[in-house]
């Protein structure tokens, strides 16, 4: 028994020495290390093999540059035309971020109203759920027709597109309190606003963040689709221009640029979520 | 302190209390003509088959559910008045802790809502120590075991020194070992605080071990079957469960329960 305890201590202090003493443990440690590396390497390997396949297909079939570019040409375009790309990313980013902020703020406010005025919720919530189920790409053109040109309509489109998923999730989050918690608040004679601040709002935060993560990417989609019709600048406008000019390298570079922004936006929200939601064991997603 | 509590008034007094609910367009009688009176400082356990309205009865006393007919007084006042004066502590079957708050902040919740009438009694830190959780002040609920979470909720219910503690199957979801230990600690807390306790359970042994009296309820509609006094020596220890007296009492409770 005493020697067992000593063994554990040595293992913790110096794995190498313990490994020398115990080949089975050394093999197990090596297998663990390999598994860790595999988790990191395989996704990179997968991406690299697809890039290679892209390059090989374009080279082998001698695909014309105006149909599809080779990956190295896209990379070169990303570098050479970075000033044009950034100049066009800027308005799209402003539209997406402002739309995101406005849409989500209004959604949270309306959700708060719904939860406290059941009659209004009963009248309008089913319609909200219905509108929420319409795909973004179908909603956006309707809004473009309604709202016209300029930056403001794009912001409005991004906002409207963010609004519905956040409203639906926020209402569910604010109502996700257990009946017992409400009874507890009643026994403590808590006022309605105290129940909201101390119980409903914190309960809804995880629901809010799952909506914000959806909204982060849909806001960018909304801004881009808004720019497709009658816009001179922005990622959406650049996509249209590149397509009409058969500049496939620029088209691909623009798409990569827009996606990179979308992913960065999403990751920023996820980081904020990790900071704000610490009470629950982290769910892996 | 506002209107004085009538001296010598029963802790809880019900006269012909009935509660009816509407469910699926059908009226259901949850409680029918409940009358009993409980003197301050006593420990009453409520036992009965499921659907006998034990939990509803506690919620009537706590002013969560209003009686359809009949009247009740809590410490000589209307139940709503007793609730607003924080004379009532409630412990739910589920600990009902706020998961984003530490154990200590959960115990502090009653100080932060409902106009938080300033009252004496033990501090949140002292209460956590009383329920055996000294050193766990900063732990979040998901870091605590089920038994520890329920201890936190008992400490929260005891904040402000309530005269009445209502407990709705608080240990029903716990394993037997934890449950036995918490039963003992609850008796200890009851002796230390002198609080009146109404304790709902579906365990015959728990009802007999904890209560000075057992209120047996019959189901559909929930009504008083019998008020059974428990004449076991005080202070009680778990070993009492092995005595012939305890066995006889448990046997009697089971016999009455079967007729409910």
Residues ≥6 apart with Cβ < 8 Å to B218: B48, B49, B52, B224, B225, B259, B260
Contact B98 A178 (CB under 8 A): no
Confidence check: pLDDT of B103 > 80 = yes
Is A239 found in the same domain as A117? yes
Is A13 found in the same domain as A117? no
Contact A187 B64 (CB under 8 A): yes
Q: Which CATH number characterizes residue A229's domain?
A: 1.10.3720.10
Instruction: Identify the residue among B114, B115, B117 best suited for mutation to test binding to A, counting A beta carbons within 10 A and taking the highest.
Output: B114
Q: How far is A175 from chain B (nearest CA, A)?
A: 15
Q: How far is A100 from chain B (nearest CA, A)?
A: 27
Q: What is the 3-state secondary structure (H, E, C) of chain B?
A: CCCCCCCCCCCEEEEEEEEEEEECCEEEEEEEEEEEEECCCCEEEEECCCCCCHHHHHHHHCCCCCCCEEEEEECCECHHHHHHCCCEEEECCCCCCCCCCCHHHHHHHHHHCCCCCCCCCCCHHHHHHHCCCCCCCCCCHHHCCHHHHHHHHHHHHHCCCCCEEEEECCCCCCCHHHHHHHHHHHHHHHHHHCCEEEEECCCHHHHHHHCCEEEEEECCCEEEEEEEECCCCCCCCHHHHHCHHHHHHHHHHHHHHHCC
Domain tally for chain A? 2
Is A34 found in the same domain as A100? no
- A185 vs B contacts (CB less than 8 Å): 113
Q: What is d(CA B50, CA A115) in angstroms, rounded to the nearest whole number?
A: 33
Is A78 found in the same domain as A57? no
Range of the domain at A233: 71-284
**A237, part of any domain:** yes
**A216, part of any domain:** yes
**A212, part of any domain:** yes
Q: Residue B242, Cβ neighbours under 10 Å: how many? A: 8
Confidence check: pLDDT of A10 > 60 = no
ipTM over 0.85: yes
Confidence check: pLDDT of A7 > 50 = no
**pLDDT tens, A194-235?**
999 999 999 999 999 999 999 998 999 989 988 887 788 899
pLDDT band with cut points at 50, 70 and 90 for residue A283: very low
Confidence check: pLDDT of A285 > 50 = no
Is A75 found in the same domain as A49? no
* Full-model pTM: 0.81
Is A139 found in the same domain as A6? no
Q: What is chain A's mean pLDDT, rounded?
A: 87
Is A225 found in the same domain as A274? yes
pLDDT band with cut points at 50, 70 and 90 for residue A47: very high
Q: Looking at residue A279, what DSSP letter applies?
A: S
Is A35 found in the same domain as A84? no
**A245, part of any domain:** yes
* Interface membership of A183 toward B (CB under 8 Å): yes
Is A248 found in the same domain as A113? yes
**A66, part of any domain:** no
Q: B169: left (phi > 0), else alpha (psi -120 to 50), else beta?
A: left
The domain boundary, picked from A61, A79, A110, lies at A61
Is A242 found in the same domain as A208? yes
Residues ≥6 apart with Cβ < 8 Å to A63: A57
Predicted local distance difference test score (pLDDT) of residue B193: 87
pLDDT band with cut points at 50, 70 and 90 for residue B121: confident
Is A270 found in the same domain as A224? yes
Confidence check: pLDDT of B220 > 90 = no
Is A83 found in the same domain as A15? no
The domain boundary, picked from A42, A61, A80, lies at A61
Q: Which residues pair with B227 in a beta bridge?
A: B215
Confidence check: pLDDT of B241 > 60 = yes
Contact B100 A279 (CB under 8 A): yes
Q: What is d(CA B90, CA B198) in angstroms, rounded to the nearest whole number?
A: 10
Predicted local distance difference test score (pLDDT) of residue A119: 94
**pLDDT tens, B12-37?**
999 999 999 887 778 888 899 999 99
Predicted local distance difference test score (pLDDT) of residue A15: 52
Predicted local distance difference test score (pLDDT) of residue B3: 45
Predicted local distance difference test score (pLDDT) of residue A181: 95
* Interface membership of A187 toward B (CB under 8 Å): yes
* Interface membership of A19 toward B (CB under 8 Å): no
Closest-CA residue of chain A to B105: A198
pLDDT band with cut points at 50, 70 and 90 for residue B173: confident
- Please, what is the end-to-end C-alpha distance for chain B in angstroms? 43
Contact B115 A280 (CB under 8 A): no
Residues B146 and B173: beta-carbon distance below 8 Å: yes
The domain boundary, picked from A61, A84, A101, lies at A61
Percent of chain B, pLDDT > 90? 59
């Amino acid at each position: 028994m005493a020697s067992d305890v000593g063994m554990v201590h040595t293992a913790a202090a110096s794995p190498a020495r313990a490994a020398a003493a115990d080949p089975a443990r050394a093999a197990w440690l090596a297998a663990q290390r390999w598994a860790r590396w595999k988790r990191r390497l395989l996704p990179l390997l997968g991406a690299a093999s697809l890039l290679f396949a892209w390059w090989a297909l374009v080279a082998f079939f001698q695909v014309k540059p105006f149909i599809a570019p080779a990956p190295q040409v896209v990379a070169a375009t990303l570098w050479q035309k970075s000033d044009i790309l950034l100049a066009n990313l800027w308005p799209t980013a402003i539209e997406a971020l402002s739309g995101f902020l406005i849409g989500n703020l209004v959604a949270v406010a309306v959700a708060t109203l719904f939860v406290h005025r059941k009659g209004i919720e009963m009248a309008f919530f089913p319609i909200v759920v219905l509108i929420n189920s319409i795909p973004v790409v179908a909603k956006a053109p309707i809004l473009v027709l309604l709202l016209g040109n300029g930056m403001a309509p794009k912001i409005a489109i991004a906002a409207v597109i963010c609004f519905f998923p956040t409203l639906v999730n926020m209402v569910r989050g604010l109502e996700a309190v257990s009946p017992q918690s409400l009874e507890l608040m009643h026994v403590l004679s808590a006022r309605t606003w105290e129940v909201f601040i101390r119980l409903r709002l914190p309960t809804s935060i995880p629901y809010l963040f799952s909506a914000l993560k959806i909204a982060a990417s849909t806001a960018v989609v909304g801004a881009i689709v808004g720019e497709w019709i009658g816009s001179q600048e922005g990622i959406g406008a650049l996509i249209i221009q590149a397509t009409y000019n058969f500049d496939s390298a620029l088209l691909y570079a623009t798409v990569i640029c827009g996606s990179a922004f979308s992913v960065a936006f999403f990751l920023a929200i996820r980081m904020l979520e990790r900071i704000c939601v610490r009470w629950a064991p982290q769910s892996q997603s | 302190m506002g209107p004085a509590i009538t001296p010598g008034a029963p802790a809880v007094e019900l006269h012909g209390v009935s509660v009816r609910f509407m469910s699926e367009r059908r009226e259901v009688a949850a409680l029918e003509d409940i009358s009993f009176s409980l003197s301050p400082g006593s420990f009453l356990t409520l036992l009965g088959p499921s659907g006998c309205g034990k939990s509803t009865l506690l919620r009537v006393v706590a002013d969560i559910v209003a009686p359809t007919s009949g009247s009740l007084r809590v410490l000589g006042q209307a139940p709503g008045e007793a609730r607003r004066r924080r004379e009532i502590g409630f412990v739910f079957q589920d600990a009902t802790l706020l998961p984003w708050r530490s154990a200590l902040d959960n115990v502090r919740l009653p100080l932060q809502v409902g106009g938080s009438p300033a009252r004496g009694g033990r501090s949140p830190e002292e209460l956590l120590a009383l329920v055996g959780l000294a050193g766990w002040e900063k732990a979040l609920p998901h870091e605590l075991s089920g038994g520890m979470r329920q201890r936190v909720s008992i400490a929260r219910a005891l904040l402000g020194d309530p005269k009445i503690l209502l407990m709705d199957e608080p240990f029903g979801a716990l394993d037997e070992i934890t449950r036995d230990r918490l039963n003992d600690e609850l008796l200890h807390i009851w002796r230390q605080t002198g609080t009146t306790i109404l304790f709902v359970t579906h365990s015959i042994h728990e009802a007999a071990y904890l209560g000075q009296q057992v209120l047996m309820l019959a189901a559909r509609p929930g009504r008083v079957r019998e008020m059974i006094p428990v004449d076991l020596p005080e202070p009680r220890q778990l070993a009492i469960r092995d005595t012939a007296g305890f066995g006889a009492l448990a046997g009697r409770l089971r016999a009455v329960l079967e007729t409910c």
